[in-house]
Structure 1
Amino acid sequence: MGSVGAAAEEEHPQREGAVGTVPRFLCLHGFRTSGEIMRTQVTGKWPGDVTSRLDLVFADAPFPGLGKSEVDGIFPPPYYEWFQFDKGFMEYKNFDACLAYIEELMIEHGPIDGLMGFSQGAILSAALPGLQARGAALTRVPKVKCVVIIGGAKFQSPAVAEKAYATKIECPSLHFIGDADFLKQHGETLLESFVDPYVIRHPKGHTVPRIDDASMETMLNFLNKIENDLNDFVEDATTFEQEEVA
């Protein structure tokens, strides 16, 4: 099994920001990379004005990479993968074990508010809210409140897709779609499964992109949305607890 990335080894008490609780995201890296690689990709490219408003937990996937990594020579090993799949992306191996592992991470490092994923991690992050709503995953943790999808796509297997995308996913979502990404069309199709998705388009390929001036407004609008939603949730929970005591 994989391990939690270096940035997540410390205890993670819920952070307080200028506007209230800072949303905590479990970050799911790409195929045959690692939590540390994703940490470098995100914190090395995104400005402090963004990362300071996110509590990011980077974890390694549960299984060692079983083949060559596309980032070999760019980032050092070890490399991990969340599950294995066939060439048509229709059959998956160790998928249930992957879902159980993610749930354990959410318990260990909770409370987790949202999921952030790149590539294989993005496919998982986009599907998990729907799977959770159908009782097919994450049954022991609170509802996923928001997602960030970088270079994502849909699961192609009907056995998974019929549960993951049975109804439109209502939680706030931010999608990064690259003009030169080989998954671009799949990412466009994925948008149809979300209610009012936020979208940042960039000219690059299958990568975690930098956030430039043109995309910053969308990013900040998304951050404002999830912060307000989370603060409302905390206030409602506090009111409920006070009423129960009374």
Structure 2
Amino acid sequence: MNGIPDTRNRILCLHGGGVTGAIFKAQARSIIKALPEFRFIFADGPYFCDPHAAIIPVYQDWGPFRRWLRWLPEHPATDAESAVEEIKYALETCANSDEGTGPIVGLMGFSQGAKLAASLLYEQEAQMKATGSASTQYQFAVLLAGRCPLVSMSSLTESPGLVSAGDVSEGFDTSKNDRSHILSLPSVHVHGLNDVGLHLHRKLLHEYCDPASTRLVEWDGEHRVPIKQKDVQKIVDAVRDVVETQTTITAQ
């Protein structure tokens, strides 16, 4: 920005499984353009993996590809503590290497990244309830095609309704949901009505989030990030509505 510090509020963005931060930035280009009041920063997941089949036709040369969590049994096993530390390191590296100086006030994730974004928001909420303070200050999350369950990021959030950070995060039995792990911080849920995982996205919305703090955006699409203006505008309106309710987020 011509030597002028960029003090805009920042949104930390988490890509889907088998993708990269750079790919997610390209996928989310319309959302970024429509929300110029924010600086979007894109982290890379800590683990290498094969590319997601859906991105190969366009982004096959954008590797190496990464993931945040295990979603296939063949992904190497790891313990929960190590997985959490790797995730935290990746997020901190992104934040610390970014030239922007504004606070990170929100999260935006797609698919596996949305699952993690909601989990990080829930972990922060649990820290606040337990100790009165938290290691992060996220105000909201934008969850693009985010599916249940949430992921436990510490002993504070261990629950039969959450999956461990070291376990395979797909195929989880959500019947274990005991309704004691409801996310209350604001979340914007973006659902493609033709997405094969829509039923799991709706479970995240209805079984893991407080309806008083959620906004739902539905669009006529599959498992991808919306790019058309009419669809993106719905997301923009929902995000700005959330910001207006958060008195700690100052306009830039």
Code of the residue aligned with 2:124 in structure 1: it is Q
- Output aligned runs, 1:207-246, within 5 Å: 207-213=224-230, 216-217=233-234, 219-227=236-244, 229=246, 232-233=247-248
2:12 maps to which residue? 26
Decide whether aligned partners of structure 1 residues 141 and 156 sit closer, same or farther in structure 2, where only a CA change above 3 A counts: closer
For residue 72 of structure 1, report the CA deviation from its aligned partner: 2.0
1:186 maps to which residue? 200
- Output aligned runs, 1:1-246, within 5 Å: 13-15=6-8, 23-43=9-29, 45-46=30-31, 48=33, 50-65=34-49, 67-70=50-53, 71-75=55-59, 76-78=61-63, 79-87=65-73, 95-105=83-93, 108=96, 111-135=103-127, 141-155=135-149, 159=158, 162=161, 166-192=180-206, 193-195=208-210, 196=212, 197-213=214-230, 216-217=233-234, 219-227=236-244, 229=246, 232-233=247-248
For residue 25 of structure 1, report the CA deviation from its aligned partner: 0.7
Take 2:225 and 2:201, find their aligned partners in 1: how far apart are those partners?
A: 14
Take 1:81 and 1:106, find their aligned partners in 2: how far apart are those partners?
A: 15
Take 1:156 and 1:221, find their aligned partners in 2: how far apart are those partners?
A: 22
Decide whether aligned partners of structure 1 residues 98 and 11 sit closer, same or farther in structure 2, where only a CA change above 3 A counts: farther
Take 1:225 and 1:68, find their aligned partners in 2: how far apart are those partners?
A: 33
Identity %: 22
Segment drifting more, 140-149 vs 91-100:
91-100
Aligned residues: 211
User: Is the CA contact (8 Å cut-off) linking 2:226 and 2:232 kept in structure 1?
Assistant: no
For residue 135 of structure 1, report the CA deviation from its aligned partner: 3.6
Take 2:104 and 2:160, find their aligned partners in 1: how far apart are those partners?
A: 24
Code of the residue aligned with 1:205 in structure 2: it is E
| Equivalent position SS for 1:143 | coil
User: Is the CA contact (8 Å cut-off) linking 1:35 and 1:59 kept in structure 2?
Assistant: yes
How large is the Cα RMSD of the aligned pairs? 3.4
For residue 175 of structure 1, report the CA deviation from its aligned partner: 0.9
Question: How far does the alpha carbon of each residue in 1:95-138 deviate from its partner, in whole angstroms, 9 at most, with x for none?
Answer: 323432255247625721111000110110111111222249xx
Take 2:46 and 2:113, find their aligned partners in 1: how far apart are those partners?
A: 12
User: Is the CA contact (8 Å cut-off) linking 1:155 and 1:161 kept in structure 2?
Assistant: no
Which protein has greater RCO, CA pairs closer than 8 Å, 6+ apart? Answer: 2
Question: How far does the alpha carbon of each residue in 1:202-224 deviate from its partner, in whole angstroms, 9 at most, with x for none?
Answer: 12111001254366256324314
User: Is the CA contact (8 Å cut-off) linking 2:119 and 2:150 kept in structure 1?
Assistant: no
For residue 80 of structure 1, report the CA deviation from its aligned partner: 1.1
Code of the residue aligned with 2:18 in structure 1: it is R
User: Is the CA contact (8 Å cut-off) linking 1:200 and 1:215 kept in structure 2?
Assistant: no
Take 1:25 and 1:35, find their aligned partners in 2: how far apart are those partners?
A: 13
Code of the residue aligned with 2:201 in structure 1: it is G
Code of the residue aligned with 1:104 in structure 2: it is E
User: Is the CA contact (8 Å cut-off) linking 1:107 and 1:141 kept in structure 2?
Assistant: no
Decide whether aligned partners of structure 1 residues 161 and 209 sit closer, same or farther in structure 2, where only a CA change above 3 A counts: farther
User: Is the CA contact (8 Å cut-off) linking 1:103 and 1:141 kept in structure 2?
Assistant: no
